[in-house]
Structures are given as C-alpha cells and as structure tokens.
Structure 1
Amino acid sequence: MKATPAPAVPPAGRPLNAPWWAAPALFTVAAALGGAWGYRSCPIVQSSAWLALPYVVPLALVAASWRPSAHRDTRTRGLVLGGVGAWIALVYAHLATLVLYTVALVLWAFQGGG
C-alpha cells in the first residue's frame, strides 16, 4: 500500500527566509557613509589623495560579506567581516591623523624641539 503524498504547502503558507543581501547592503551603506564622514571630519582631507588609498581594505572586507553562504558559520563570518569593514571605514581617517600627529611629535622631540 502506497502512502499518499502530503499536499504541497501553498507559497503564501511557507515561511519566508530572511534575505541574505540585507546585511551586506546595510554594511555597504554604513561603510560608504562612515568613510565619507570620517574623511570629511578630520584634517586629513586637506592632504594628498594617497592617504585615502587604505580605504580599499574596509571596502574589501565589506565586499567579502556579499558572498552568499548556506552554512551558519560562513554566514556569521560574512556578518563579522562586513561589520569590521564598516567600523574601519569610520575610524580610519581619525586613526591616520593620530598616527601622523604622533610621528610628527616624535620627530619634533628628537630633533631638539625647536
């Protein structure tokens, strides 16, 4: 005796999976806005354009979060990479300014202070 197959669940009754692209899209917007705000709000904006080159690193981290994954551990890794990339984009300009001021202060101190 064959069992009758269960009736298919109509599309409206199926639970919706969360869209995988929502978090990477949020991280992309956050990295772009954070990078722009961080860069415009510190004195590094008047310096040469090569100081903006390290923004490639946070953008690469955010781009890595766009890779869709089926496993929970790789999904978590993508969320962490996107969050870290957005945070680095936000603080990079201020960190670079701090490093440049520290180097200038150390060089000034070692050359005699005058």
Structure 2
Amino acid sequence: MTATSPPRPPAARLLTPPWWLAPALLTIAAALGGAWGYRSSPIVHGSAWLALPYVVPAALVAASWWPPSHTGAKTRGMVLGGVGVFVALVYARLATVVLYTLAFVLWAFQGGG
C-alpha cells in the first residue's frame, strides 16, 4: 500500500499563480528590451551577424520555461530569465562599445593616419 498526499482543496489551487506567467512576461520583456536596445544603437545599420549573440539571452529566457520540478528550479529559472532580459537590453550598447574600442585600437596601432 502506498501513501499518497491528500489533494489540495480547490480554493488553494485557485490562489497559486500559473507557473508560466512569469516566463511569459520575461519573454516579452526580453524581446522588447532586445528590440529597443538594438534599434537605439548605431549597430542597427551593421551586418546581420551582429544580431547573432541575441541567441544567448533567448536561451537564458528559454530556461525559465521549464516547469519547476522542485523548489529551487523555479527560482533558478526566474533568475536565468531575468539575466536574459538584462543581457538582451544591454547587448547592443556593449557591442557598440567593444566595436568602437577595437576600431580605435586598430587605428592607433596602424599609425593614426
């Protein structure tokens, strides 16, 4: 004979939010943050391969979509999703700074003329 946990009452099931609500909001925030960050930076006129690193924030946000199997999984998913939103927001600015720094260093070492 196996012991089963008693079912939760219907009122308790209604008070718990659906697990997919936070990942859905993080996905929307990452898409909007990435679009805003990319459109507001000068690399928008660059080649398409500059948008390739947006795969990293998308993967971080996708990790938040896995249903939580234990207590720590939900927190870990939300942290990964939040980091993905932040990376999507700042990637274009960071790429711009890196590309400008690289151009300046190459210009400085080639003789400055």
TM over 0.5: yes
CA RMSD of aligned residues (A): 1.6
The superposition leaves residues 13-46 of structure 1 with CA deviations (integer Å, 9 ceiling, x where unpaired) of: 3352121111101110000000000000000000
Report the count of equivalent residues. Answer: 106
Q: Which runs of 4+ in 1 moved over 3 A?
A: none
The structural deviation recorded for 1:9 is: 7.8
Identity of aligned residues (%): 73
Show the counterpart of 1:78.
Answer: 77
The superposition leaves residues 52-76 of structure 1 with CA deviations (integer Å, 9 ceiling, x where unpaired) of: 0110110011011000113221111
Show the counterpart of 1:14.
Answer: 12
Show the counterpart of 2:50.
Answer: 51
Extract unaligned runs of 5+ from structure 1.
Answer: 1-7
User: Is 2:39 the partner of 1:37?
Assistant: no
Extract unaligned runs of 5+ from structure 2.
Answer: 1-6
The superposition leaves residues 45-103 of structure 1 with CA deviations (integer Å, 9 ceiling, x where unpaired) of: 00000100110110011011000113221111100110000110000011001000000
Provide the TM-score with structure 1 as the length reference. 0.87
C-alpha change, 1:67 and 1:112, in structure 2 (3 Å) is: same
Show the counterpart of 2:23.
Answer: 24
Show the counterpart of 2:64.
Answer: 65
| Deviates further, 13-22 or 72-81 | 13-22
Name the larger-Rg structure.
Answer: 1
**1:79 aligned partner, one-letter code:** M
C-alpha change, 1:27 and 1:10, in structure 2 (3 Å) is: closer
User: Is 2:80 the partner of 1:100?
Assistant: no
